[in-house]
Structure 1
Amino acid sequence: MDRPPFLDFHTRLMPGPDAVDRQLALMAELGIDRAVLAAGAVIDPDRLARQLVEGGQFDSDADNDAVLAACARSGGRLIPFFFANPHRPAGVYRERAAEFRGLELSPAVHGIPFADERMVDLVRVAGEFGHPVYTVSLGQPGFGAGDLVELAKRFPDITFVLGHCGFLAVDLHAVNQIAPQPNILAETSGTFSFIVKAALARLGADRVLFGSEHPHQHPAVEITKYRTLDLPEETWNKVVRLNALRVLGER
Structure 2
Amino acid sequence: MTVVDFHARLTPGDAEPAGLLDALDEAGIDRAVVCAGGLLPLDRLAAQITDGGRAEVSADNDGVRRACARSGGRLLPFYFADPERDVEAYAKKAFDFRGLEISPAVHGGRLDDPAVSELAAIAEAAGHPVYLVTVSRPGARPADLLALAARFPRVTFVWGHCGHHGLDVSGLGTIAARPNIVAELSGCLTVTARLAVSRLGSHRVLFGTEYPLQDPGVELRKIAALDLDPSDRQAVLGANACRLLREEMSWTP
Name the TM-score class by shorter chain.
over 0.9
State the alpha-carbon separation in 2 of the partners of residues 44 and 14 from structure 1: 12
Of 85-94 and 126-135, more deviation after overlay is shown by 85-94
Q: Check if 1:159 corresponds to 2:156.
A: yes
1:14-35: CA deviations, max 9, x gaps? 3431311221122112110000
Paired residue for 1:234? 231
Cα contact 2:2–2:239 (8 A) shared by 1 = no
Of 86-95 and 28-37, more deviation after overlay is shown by 86-95
1:202-233: CA deviations, max 9, x gaps? 10010000000000101011011111121100
| AA partner of residue 111 (structure 2) | F
State the alpha-carbon separation in 2 of the partners of residues 250 and 220 from structure 1: 23
Paired residue for 1:115? 112
Of 172-181 and 57-66, more deviation after overlay is shown by 57-66
Match of 1:64 among 50, 57, 61: 61
5 Å matches for 1:39-118? 39-118=36-115
The 3-state SS of whatever aligns with 1:134 is: strand
Deviation at 1:77, TM superposition (A): 0.1
For structure 1, list consecutive stretches of 5 or more residues without a partner in the other structure: none
| AA partner of residue 50 (structure 1) | A
For structure 2, list consecutive stretches of 5 or more residues without a partner in the other structure: 249-253
Cα contact 1:114–1:147 (8 A) shared by 2 = yes
Q: What RMSD in Å do the two structures reach over aligned CA positions? A: 1.0
| AA partner of residue 78 (structure 2) | F
1:120-177: CA deviations, max 9, x gaps? 1111111111110000000111110110000000000000000001121010011010
Deviation at 1:36, TM superposition (A): 0.2
State the alpha-carbon separation in 2 of the partners of residues 154 and 5 from structure 1: 33
The 3-state SS of whatever aligns with 2:131 is: strand
Cα contact 1:89–1:118 (8 A) shared by 2 = no
The 3-state SS of whatever aligns with 1:195 is: helix
Match of 1:225 among 216, 222, 226: 222
TM value normalised by structure 1: 0.96
Match of 1:209 among 188, 206, 215: 206
State the alpha-carbon separation in 2 of the partners of residues 21 and 13 from structure 1: 10
Cα contact 1:14–1:23 (8 A) shared by 2 = no
Cα contact 2:7–2:208 (8 A) shared by 1 = yes
State the alpha-carbon separation in 1 of the partners of residues 226 and 132 from structure 2: 25
| AA partner of residue 145 (structure 1) | P
State the alpha-carbon separation in 2 of the partners of residues 24 and 44 from structure 1: 23
Deviation at 1:59, TM superposition (A): 2.3
State the alpha-carbon separation in 1 of the partners of residues 11 and 86 from structure 2: 27
